[in-house]
């Protein structure tokens, strides 16, 4: 029988091999074949990891529940992202086509490594790898705006990763036993128990600020907003969901490890501050947003703010945070896919040039309305459940002021989203688009209905296996 370590090595060896073949052989049919094969391999690898849940391979990777859950979301969205990517880049030159799919394979592999890593340094390495892969994808359209967004992404993310590394160094300062220097999550538990609380506070703040570049959370949220706006829609869908989940995972792991120390109240206050500021900023910018994809980017900032607040509230908020991350991934990916289709039909991302979408493409307009319900947590959206649990945590803690502020800010977000999406679907364009529209095959919208359907099902019933997995993730957190 093949050992899990050998399967793990084989997966990453295939990732490297297929990525290089796609990059070096500029053949569109071959790129489609190899990329599709890689998605199948990733799904199979994820299933294999579930079969060996709890096992550690090569000392640096562990198949734990949280990592596998987010990796499963990655597998599902890899299928839809690759499918919509084939459509988006079908008319590109072979070289650009090859670079796109090679970078996409690299991104999927890097995120998989980050999900399964069992130490801070290993996570840090794979997160840095995602920066390089995403940079190539943001620059896909080769425009001046894309170049600016790419350099900004690389620069700010590099600073963020450096800050996260400083946080890791502060942990290292507290280590007296050389055997703990590898900073695995199991060793951090022992380090945190013995460390000076001041060092732990500094380490948490640096880790939060550093990885907020990936999670899209205040204060390093600007880089992700620009990236979502400029990147191809399938890539925007990917980096606003699965890549944000990488940032969440890194922050959550440190929070969970430090939660048994005296700095728990401090961490909760920092998360609440970051979460509320994220929602405040997203609400303000969404009210004046004139770019359809940028509107969705600020929506991602708002939802990550909700996750941070739920986590900072504790109790049932832990459950709400995990559930919200999962449901947001499906809802936001579907919306970005749909926004890409609306661009084809209307010829623009400009809000003033958008409109009459229901008459131009009814299947897409209906999907957009369904996605609006999902992302704004309006029943029957499953995100209504996660936000309701967040407010329940606030009531349980007696934080009525927080609850009132959160409700008011979310009302502004709801108003901004509703007015803009309803304008796109039903109103006439305020100005004419300079780019002619195209026809879209309704079958290309089926994937979005499936993703939104998953979000809606959770509103009515949460499968036992999902509840059990989330409870397993949060069982060691303070009640």
Burial 423-433 (b: 16+ CB within 10 A, else e): bbbeeebeeeb
- Position 114 scores a pLDDT of 92
Token pair in block for residue 104: 């996409």
The pLDDT of residue 223: 74
For residue 192, count other CB atoms closer than 10 A to its CB.
22
Confidence at residue 91, expressed as pLDDT on a 0 to 100 scale: 86
What Å distances lie between residue 57 and 40, 54, 117, 142, CA to CA?
22, 10, 10, 40
Q: How far apart are CA 297 and CA 336, in angstroms?
A: 9
Q: Note whether 278 and 248 are within 8 A (CB).
A: no
Q: What are the residue ranges spanned by the domains of the chain?
A: 275-479
Q: How far apart are CA 124 and CA 243, in angstroms?
A: 13
- The half-sphere exposure of 14 on its side-chain side, counting CA atoms within 13 A, is 17
Listed residue (271, 342, 337, 335) closest to 304, CA to CA: 271
Structure tokens at 121: 């340094």
Q: What is the pLDDT of residue 6?
A: 83
pLDDT score recorded for residue 307: 94
pTM score: 0.92
Token code pair at residue 110 = 């890097």
Structure tokens given for 429: 């364009």
Let me know if 316 is exposed, middle or buried by CB neighbors in 10 A (0-12, 13-18, 19+): buried
CA-based nearest residue to 94, from 141, 30, 150, 35: 30
Cβ(232)–Cβ(85) below 8 Å: yes
For 153, residues 6+ apart whose C-beta sits below 8 A from its C-beta are: 131, 134, 135, 138, 223, 226, 227
Alpha-carbon gap, residue 116 to 106, rounded angstroms: 16
**pLDDT confidence of residue 434:** 62
Give the per-residue pLDDT at 70.
94
pLDDT by residue, tens only, the chain of 479 residues:
678 788 888 999 999 999 999 888 888 899 899 999 999 999 999 999 999 888 888 878 888 899 999 999 999 999 999 999 999 888 888 899 999 999 999 999 999 999 998 878 888 889 888 988 988 898 888 888 888 888 888 888 888 888 888 877 777 666 555 444 556 676 666 776 777 788 888 888 888 988 888 888 887 777 777 787 888 889 989 888 998 999 999 899 889 888 888 888 999 999 999 999 999 999 888 888 888 888 888 888 899 999 999 999 988 999 999 999 999 999 999 999 999 898 888 888 888 888 888 888 899 999 999 999 999 989 898 999 999 999 999 998 888 899 999 999 999 999 999 999 998 988 888 887 666 667 888 888 999 999 999 999 988 888 888 888 999 888 888 87
Quote the tokens at residue 158: 């590099």
CA-CA distance, 82 to 251, in Å (whole number)?
28
């Amino acid at each position: 029988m093949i050992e899990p370590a050998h399967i793990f090595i084989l997966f990453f060896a295939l990732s490297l091999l297929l990525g290089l073949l796609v990059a070096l052989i500029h053949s569109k049919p071959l790129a489609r074949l190899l990329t599709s094969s890689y998605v199948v391999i990733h799904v199979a690898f994820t299933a294999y990891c579930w079969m060996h849940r709890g096992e550690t391979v090569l000392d640096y990777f562990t198949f734990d529940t949280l990592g596998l859950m987010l990796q499963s979301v990655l597998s599902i969205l890899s299928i839809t992202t690759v499918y919509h990517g084939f459509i988006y880049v079908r008319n590109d030159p072979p070289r650009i086509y090859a670079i796109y799919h090679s970078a996409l394979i690299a991104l999927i592999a890097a995120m998989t490594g980050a999900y399964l890593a069992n130490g801070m340094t290993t996570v840090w390495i794979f997160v840095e790898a995602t920066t390089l892969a995403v940079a190539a994808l943001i620059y896909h359209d080769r425009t001046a705006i894309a170049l600016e967004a790419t350099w900004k992404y690389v620069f700010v993310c590099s600073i963020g990763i450096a800050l996260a590394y400083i946080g890791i160094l502060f942990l290292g300062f507290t280590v007296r036993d050389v055997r703990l220097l590898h900073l695995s999550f199991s060793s951090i538990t022992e380090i945190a128990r013995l460390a000076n609380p001041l060092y732990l506070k500094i380490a948490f703040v640096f880790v939060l600020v550093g990885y907020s570049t990936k999670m899209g959370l205040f204060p390093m949220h600007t880089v992700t907003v620009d990236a979502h706006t400029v990147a191809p829609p399938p890539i925007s869908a990917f980096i606003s969901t699965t890549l944000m989940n990488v940032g969440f995972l890194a922050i959550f792991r440190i929070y969970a490890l430090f939660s048994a120390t005296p700095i728990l109240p401090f961490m909760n206050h920092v998360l609440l501050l970051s979460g509320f500021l994220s929602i405040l900023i997203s609400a303000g910018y969404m009210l004046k947003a004139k770019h359809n994809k940028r509107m969705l980017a600020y929506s991602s900032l708002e939802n990550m703010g909700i996750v941070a607040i739920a986590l900072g509230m504790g109790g049932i908020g832990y459950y709400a945070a995990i559930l919200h991350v999962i449901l947001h991934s499906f809802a936001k990916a579907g919306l970005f896919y749909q926004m890409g289709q609306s661009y084809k039909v209307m010829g623009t991302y400009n809000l003033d040039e958008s409109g009459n979408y229901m008459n131009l493409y009814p299947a897409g307009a209906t999907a957009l309305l369904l996605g609006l319900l999902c992302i704004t947590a309006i029943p029957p959206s499953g995100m209504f459940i996660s936000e309701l649990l967040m407010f329940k945590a606030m009531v349980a803690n007696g934080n009525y002021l927080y609850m009132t502020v959160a409700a008011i800010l979310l009302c502004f977000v709801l108003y901004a989203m509703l007015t803009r999406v309803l304008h796109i679907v039903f109103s006439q364009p305020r100005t004419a688009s300079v780019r002619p529209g195209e026809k879209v095959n309704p079958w290309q919208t089926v994937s979005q209905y499936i993703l939104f359907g998953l979000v809606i099902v959770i509103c009515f019933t949460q499968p036992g296996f999902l509840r059990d997995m989330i409870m397993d993730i949060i069982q060691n957190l303070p009640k």
